[in-house]
């Protein structure tokens, strides 16, 4: 049979209407917007903004957000059209199955693992970093970092235990139920947005205009080195300075926008998906884009972008670093000068001759850290939910084992998929550095956006008669621009990320040909109709 066999749209719509045996429809438009904001505002804003400024864009990170948002807008319109037309769990995977065929659907489903699963891992690592900052660094370095990371004092990480802990808690919450998860997410979103607005309002008063000059990173900027002398940041690449740096920064901060498409994975749990899905997808995207641009402007105005090029300032707790430098004063300390001109305190430590910096807004720093921890939790929650719903759809189609589509007899959630997903995400969170997982997540997201945009274009040609409760404007232009801009951002990712992503995709194809193709329900037509046992199977 053809690798490009498509799933009949009628079967897909019938599955969406089969709510009696499937996922419970409990989410309204407000829940969906909050779900999107809950996923969007997180590590992408609080960690990746500083990373993009320090590695590629400088103060022009605000323009990087604009570029990323434009790509997201076009892709978001395509997602909204699909989600209103095919309101089923599975997101880009399900849409690709109808339009471009099974092998493409598998590829995008496999890529979505990089988006949702690695996205959850990335944010759980950031959660661990901020928790350690809140506790004053009391968690030993080796137990909150991966084996591939080393502190300035030479201590190598072993595993990230706090990241695993938050994954356990949120996995159990997801198993308990979607509605319960949505209520908690709504509360967290309110707190998180309030803190972001507070940071923007207070920080605006302490912007130093000289930090915006030059606005883009100059071409001849020297490399930033690690303590061992290796290169941490290099600005020689076209995508790491000037206008190219804006594109490079857009690819980095694109991680910050992955939440809005996660809304589409909850389509089968929406009360009125044809009306509410476009509202949830586009509404959350607009709100967060405005906040992102303002946030990036304040962050790079309060602290110089060169500070964020330092891994100790641009990675862990970068927002807290910026808050501590909004305003304050130096508290003098007794010191002497050694032969090398260093200021030495009574204990023999090198200190700042000006004294100890006493931040003015330490209360805000603590509040922001607590809010960020809560905000990261909502992001992880939505990412884990999105991935489990993609697995649910792939399993219903026979491309993954049945365990991924077994629903809990009481809670009606795909609890086995949640537990298996925890193991996979937990391994990444425990043993992989944040920058590696974050860049791979951006690749998976962009790749999904490209195929969804192409899918809308194909669907307009193949099935123009299908009723579309929401229709993306400007005809095929939106789809072409969405695919083109996202493809450009994929190209601007670093070579290591693209190489690892290519290996991941090849591994996915091997699994498809070894397992999924022969067990696909399209390959076995007698299995296409769902059985009650598929939904009600118990341990």
Measured at the alpha carbon of residue 497, what is the angle toward residues 491 and 498, in degrees to the nearest 5?
Answer: 45
Query: Which segment of 251-265, 427-441, 451-465 scores lowest on mean pLDDT?
Result: 251-265
Q: Which pLDDT tens digit goes with each residue over 292-335?
A: 899 999 999 988 888 887 755 545 557 777 887 776 666 778 87
pTM of the model: 0.69
Predicted pLDDT at 265: 65
Report CA dihedral (457, 459, 463, 467) to the nearest 10 degrees: -100
Strand-strand pairing, 350-351 and 343-344:
antiparallel
Query: Mean per-residue pLDDT for 138-159?
Result: 83
Binned at pLDDT 50, 70 and 90, residue 164 comes out as: very high
Predicted pLDDT at 212: 92
Predicted pLDDT at 167: 93
Predicted pLDDT at 16: 58
Residue 462 has pLDDT above 90, yes or no: no
Residue 62 has pLDDT above 90, yes or no: yes
Looking at mean pLDDT, say which of 170-179, 345-354, 514-523 comes out highest. 514-523
Query: Mean per-residue pLDDT for 167-179?
Result: 82
Residue 518 tokens, joined: 């022969």
- Nearest CA to 238 out of 492, 514, 524 is that of 492
437 SS3 class: helix
Q: Which pLDDT tens digit goes with each residue over 482-498?
A: 888 888 888 878 788 88
- Greatest alpha-carbon pair distance for the chain in Å reads 84
Which domains are delineated in the chain? 34-326+361-493 (1.20.1740.10), 328-357 (no CATH)
**Cα distance between residue 219 and residue 466, in whole Å:** 51
Q: Which pLDDT tens digit goes with each residue over 380-433?
A: 887 888 788 888 888 888 888 888 888 878 777 788 888 988 898 888 888 877
**Do 311 and 151 contact (CB within 8 A), yes or no?**
no
Predicted pLDDT at 534: 40
Q: Which residue has the higher pLDDT, 509 or 365?
A: 509
**Cα distance between residue 204 and residue 200, in whole Å:** 6
Query: Mean per-residue pLDDT for 338-360?
Result: 76
Predicted pLDDT at 179: 62
Predicted pLDDT at 44: 66
Binned at pLDDT 50, 70 and 90, residue 14 comes out as: low
């Amino acid at each position: 049979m053809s690798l490009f066999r498509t799933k009949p749209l009628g079967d897909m719509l019938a599955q969406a209407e089969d709510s009696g045996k499937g996922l419970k429809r409990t989410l309204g438009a407000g829940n969906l917007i909050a779900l999107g904001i809950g996923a969007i505002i997180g590590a992408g804003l609080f960690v990746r903004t500083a990373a993009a400024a320090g590695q590629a864009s400088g103060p022009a990170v605000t323009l990087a957000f604009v570029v990323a948002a434009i790509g997201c807008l076009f892709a978001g319109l395509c997602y909204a059209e699909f989600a209103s037309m095919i309101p089923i769990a599975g997101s880009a995977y399900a849409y690709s199955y109808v339009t471009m065929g099974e092998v493409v659907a598998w590829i995008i489903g496999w890529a979505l693992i990089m988006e949702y699963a690695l996205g959850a891992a990335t944010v759980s690592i950031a959660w661990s970093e901020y928790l350690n900052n809140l506790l004053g660094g009391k968690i030993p370095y080796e137990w909150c970092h991966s084996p591939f990371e080393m502190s300035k004092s030479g201590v190598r990480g072993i595993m990230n235990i706090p990241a695993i802990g938050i994954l356990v808690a949120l996995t159990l919450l997801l198993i308990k139920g979607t509605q319960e998860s949505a209520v908690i997410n709504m509360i967290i979103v309110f707190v998180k947005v309030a803190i972001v607005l507070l940071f923007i309002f207070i920080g605006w008063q302490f912007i130093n205009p000289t930090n915006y000059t030059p606005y883009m990173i100059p071409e001849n900027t020297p490399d930033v080195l690690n303590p061992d002398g290796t290169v941490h940041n290099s600005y020689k690449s076209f995508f790491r300075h000037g206008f190219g740096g804006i594109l490079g920064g857009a690819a980095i901060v694109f991680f910050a926008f992955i939440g809005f498409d996660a809304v589409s994975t909850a389509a089968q749990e929406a009360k009125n998906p044809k009306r509410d899905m476009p509202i949830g997808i586009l509404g959350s995207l607009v709100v967060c884009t405005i906040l992102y641009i303002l946030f990036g402007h304040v962050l790079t105005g309060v602290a110089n972008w060169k500070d964020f090029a330092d891994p100790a300032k641009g990675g862990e707790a970068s927002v807290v670093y910026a808050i501590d430098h909004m305003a304050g004063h130096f508290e003098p300390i007794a010191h002497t000068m050694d032969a090398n001109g260093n200021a030495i305190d009574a204990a023999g430590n090198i200190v700042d001759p000006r004294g100890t910096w006493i931040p003015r807004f330490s209360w805000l720093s603590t509040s922001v850290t607590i809010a960020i921890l809560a905000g990261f939790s909502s992001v992880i929650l939505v990412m884990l939910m999105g991935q489990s719903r993609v697995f649910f759809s792939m399993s219903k189609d026979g491309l993954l084992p049945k365990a991924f589509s077994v629903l809990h007899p009481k809670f009606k959630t795909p609890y086995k998929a949640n537990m298996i997903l925890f193991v996979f995400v937990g391994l990444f969170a425990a043993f992989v550095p944040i920058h590696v997982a974050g860049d791979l997540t951006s690749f998976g997201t962009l790749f999904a956006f490209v195929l969804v945009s192409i899918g809308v274009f194909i669907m307009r040609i193949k099935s123009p008669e299908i009723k579309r409760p929401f229709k993306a404007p400007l005809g095929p232009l939106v789809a072409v621009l969405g695919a083109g801009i996202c493809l450009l951002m994929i190209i601007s990712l670093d070579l290591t990320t693209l190489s690892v992503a290519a290996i991941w995709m090849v591994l996915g194809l091997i699994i498809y040909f070894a397992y999924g193709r022969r067990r696909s329900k399209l390959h076995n037509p007698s299995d296409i109709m769902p059985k009650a046992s598929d939904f009600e199977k118990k341990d």
